[in-house]
Amino acid sequence: MCGPLEPAAPSPRIEPARERAVEAYREACEGITSLAYDRARLKLDLALRGLPAIRDRIALETGRLELLRRNPLTAAEFFAEAEASPHESVRVRASYGRAFALLRADDPAGQEALEQLLEAYPEIPDRNQLLLEHAKRMLRQRRYEDALGSMRRLRIEAPGSDAARWAELETQRLRSVGYEAPSLTDEERVRAAMNLMNVGPLDKARSEVEELLELPMPGELHADAHYLASKIARFEGRWLASATYLRTAQLFSSATLLSSQTIEVRANDMARTAGARSPVRAEQT
């Protein structure tokens, strides 16, 4: 006998069905990882029948699976369904997947989907993969100026990545057959160096900053370059060199990084650190 405070006995029909759906969802995810795409698709369909409460997540995984199966338009439909999720994390991933799938499919809606996504989430992870896919789409459609624009953004926003290296090679190829592809401006090179400092490799960042320090750039860009040089010196334990670069940055007005007062504080910190460290190592420049 079941009272109002006692849990009802589980239905012998419902509980096993739910358990099978949960197991099917788990097997589907494993199937995607192990490249068993056809089996994974069947398991996702089974999971959907038994787990309607997570329909959004199942649609997200199905979209990812259809992309791997090279069905981008089908994938875009499932991603669009997942975009209606009540959970923001699912919606963001779904919007990313939909934009990517539409670009891969050469669908005209891909451009708008990409722009809306980057406007809503300008710092979304792996945005360079979207820019790469957009550039490839432009190349397939022989819209070379648009392709060069996306590749330029890759070279600035994701320097050091495989996507940026591909963009550099493609830019050189198009330039060699007569398309106009101006070199990065000094300001763009400084922005690229800033981004390179965040993701590495450090050797490439050091080389780029050293070149920037030798260029006849406007004062604010010189300030940014010297500040970046200071960060590299600090990473390498060259404290006195770091303080010296900061002092030089103070001679210019930086429009993009730190205020003169903040630079002053950091320069003093580096000078004190240099004095507390080994004199030989601290004075290396």
Token representation of residue 44: 């996702």
C-alpha to C-alpha distance for 245 and 269, rounded to whole angstroms: 13
DSSP 210: H
Tell me what pLDDT residue 6 has.
40
Lookup: tokens for 136? 């490839």
Alpha helices, DSSP H only, in 121-259?
A: 127-140, 144-157, 162-176, 186-199, 202-213, 219-235, 239-249
Q: Map tokens 């096993």 to a residue.
A: 16
Q: What is the pLDDT of residue 281?
A: 47
- pLDDT tens, N- to C-terminus, the chain (285 residues): 343 334 334 444 446 777 887 887 787 788 777 777 788 787 887 777 777 888 898 889 899 989 988 999 999 999 999 999 999 999 999 999 999 999 999 999 999 999 999 999 988 888 899 999 999 999 999 999 999 999 999 999 999 889 999 999 999 999 999 999 889 999 999 999 999 988 878 888 899 999 999 988 888 888 889 889 988 988 888 888 888 888 888 777 654 555 555 555 555 555 555 555 555 544 454
Sign of CA dihedral 183, 187, 190, 192: negative
In angstroms, the CA 97 to CA 86 distance is 17
